[in-house]
């Protein structure tokens, strides 16, 4: 079986989510560090242009977006379950809300001037400027609406009070009793806020939330070992994409297997990826593409939150 290779960087909130998922599953994985900003030539050789962090590689199969990465890890190791039986929709729907609404609030709070000054204190001004410019580009062109710092501060107490109440009354130690994808999707924006003394009080002021967050972060990151980007590209070059899912190909807008298409996120980081559509299921879309650096790969995307169009 091919190794799990995570392309990520240490301070990425969604990368922390993926690392915690690997820890929860008790998995071993290879760590490929990528740049926080574009260009990312080694990563985009694998993805075809998708630039968000993290990306999971398994041989010649490339998984984009942590929502789909979670489902791939569930295939890798069924238990403990990220989608507990009987709570699959509740857990997945809550996770989608946390990954969008709560994350957008956290981003706004983290990037207010007083927080930026502390977070990037060790970087030269030109590096800070480049990072902020990159993030402005990342969040342009999609459907995601930036929450202003004022509105984020205004609404944050409601989000946290609801969470505090839920955790105080919950019978178990996690959001829905037993741990699930919902916990990890909510934990990473709070982890992001905890990184500096400017924003940490937005979490620390809620005792039940703080205790719960400690339990989630306590799962750790599994067993990681370093790998270079060139080694990861060689893994892809030497591998053959896995067999396609047994699920029936189902595409309600009439797309067919073998068609040349474009897939892109709809919220932010909307860089399109072109290739041959080889699979469309209820949760997953797969493109076949070829790159001179990594050979033939299958790039996997979630259906939810991504658009599928004919290649022009």
217 vs 208: CA distance, rounded Å: 14
> E strands along the chain, which residues?
4-8, 28-33, 55-58, 61-64, 223-226, 260-265, 273-280, 284-291, 295-302, 306-310
Strand partners, 30: 5, 225
6 vs 19: CA distance, rounded Å: 8
77 vs 210: CA distance, rounded Å: 29
- What does the pLDDT read at residue 131? 86
277 vs 226: CA distance, rounded Å: 32
- What does the pLDDT read at residue 192? 98
Rg for the chain (alpha carbons), in Å?
Answer: 19
Per-residue pLDDT tens digits of the chain, which is 312 residues long: 689 999 999 999 999 999 999 999 999 999 999 999 999 999 999 999 999 999 999 999 999 999 999 999 999 999 999 999 999 999 999 999 999 999 999 999 999 999 988 988 888 888 888 888 888 887 888 887 789 999 999 999 999 999 999 999 988 999 999 999 999 999 999 999 999 999 999 999 999 999 999 999 999 999 999 999 999 999 999 999 999 999 999 999 999 999 999 999 999 989 999 999 999 999 999 999 999 999 999 999 999 999 999 988
Total Cβ atoms within 10 A of residue 4: 24
Residue 178: CA atoms inside 13 Å, Cβ hemisphere, count?
A: 11
**Torsion sign (Cα): 67, 73, 74, 75:** positive
Which candidate, 140, 81, 63, 104, places its Cα nearest to that of 298? 63
Q: DSSP string spanning 230-264?
A: HHHHHHHHH--PPPPPSSPP--TT---TT-EEEEE
210 vs 290: CA distance, rounded Å: 46
**Torsion sign (Cα): 77, 245, 92, 305:** positive
- What does the pLDDT read at residue 2? 84
Backbone angles phi, psi at 298, to 5 degrees: -105, 125
Q: What 8-state DSSP symbol labels residue 281?
A: -
218 vs 225: CA distance, rounded Å: 19
Total Cβ atoms within 10 A of residue 173: 14
Which structural domains are found in the chain, ordered by start?
A: 4-80+223-310 (3.40.30.110), 88-217 (1.20.1050.10)
Place of tokens 């630039």: 51
Place of tokens 């946390």: 98
Are the beta carbons of 78 and 20 closer than 8 angstroms?
A: no
- What does the pLDDT read at residue 66? 98
pTM: 0.96
């Amino acid at each position: 079986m091919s190794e799990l290779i995570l392309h990520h960087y240490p301070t990425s909130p969604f990368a922390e989510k993926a690392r915690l998922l690997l820890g929860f599953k008790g998995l071993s994985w290879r760590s490929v560090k990528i740049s926080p900003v574009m260009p990312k030539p080694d990563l985009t050789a694998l993805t075809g242009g998708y630039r968000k962090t993290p990306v999971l590689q398994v041989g010649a199969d490339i998984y984009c977006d942590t929502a789909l990465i979670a489902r791939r890890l569930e295939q890798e190791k069924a238990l403990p379950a990220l989608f507990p039986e009987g709570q699959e929709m509740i857990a997945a729907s809550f996770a989608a809300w946390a990954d969008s609404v709560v994350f957008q609030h956290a981003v706004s709070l983290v990037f207010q001037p007083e927080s930026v000054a502390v977070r990037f204190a060790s970087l030269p001004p030109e590096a800070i400027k480049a990072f902020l410019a990159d993030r402005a580009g990342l969040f342009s062109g999609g459907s995601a609406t930036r929450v202003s710092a004022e509105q984020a501060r205004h609404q944050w107490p409601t989000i946290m009070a609801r969470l505090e109440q839920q955790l105080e009354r919950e019978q178990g130690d996690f959001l829905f009793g037993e741990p699930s994808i919902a916990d990890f999707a909510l934990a990473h924006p709070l982890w992001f806020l905890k990184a500096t003394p400017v924003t940490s009080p937005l979490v620390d002021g809620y005792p039940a939330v703080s205790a719960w967050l400690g339990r989630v972060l306590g799962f750790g990151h599994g067993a990681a070992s370093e790998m270079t980007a060139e080694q990861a590209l060689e893994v892809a070059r030497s591998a053959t994409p896995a067999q396609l899912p047994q699920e029936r190909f189902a595409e309600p807008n009439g797309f067919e297997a073998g068609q040349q298409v474009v897939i892109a996120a709809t919220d932010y980081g909307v860089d399109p990826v072109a290739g041959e559509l080889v699979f469309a299921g209820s949760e997953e879309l797969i493109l076949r593409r070829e790159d001179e650096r990594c050979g033939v790969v299958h790039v996997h995307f979630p259906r939810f939150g991504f658009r599928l169009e004919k290649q022009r």
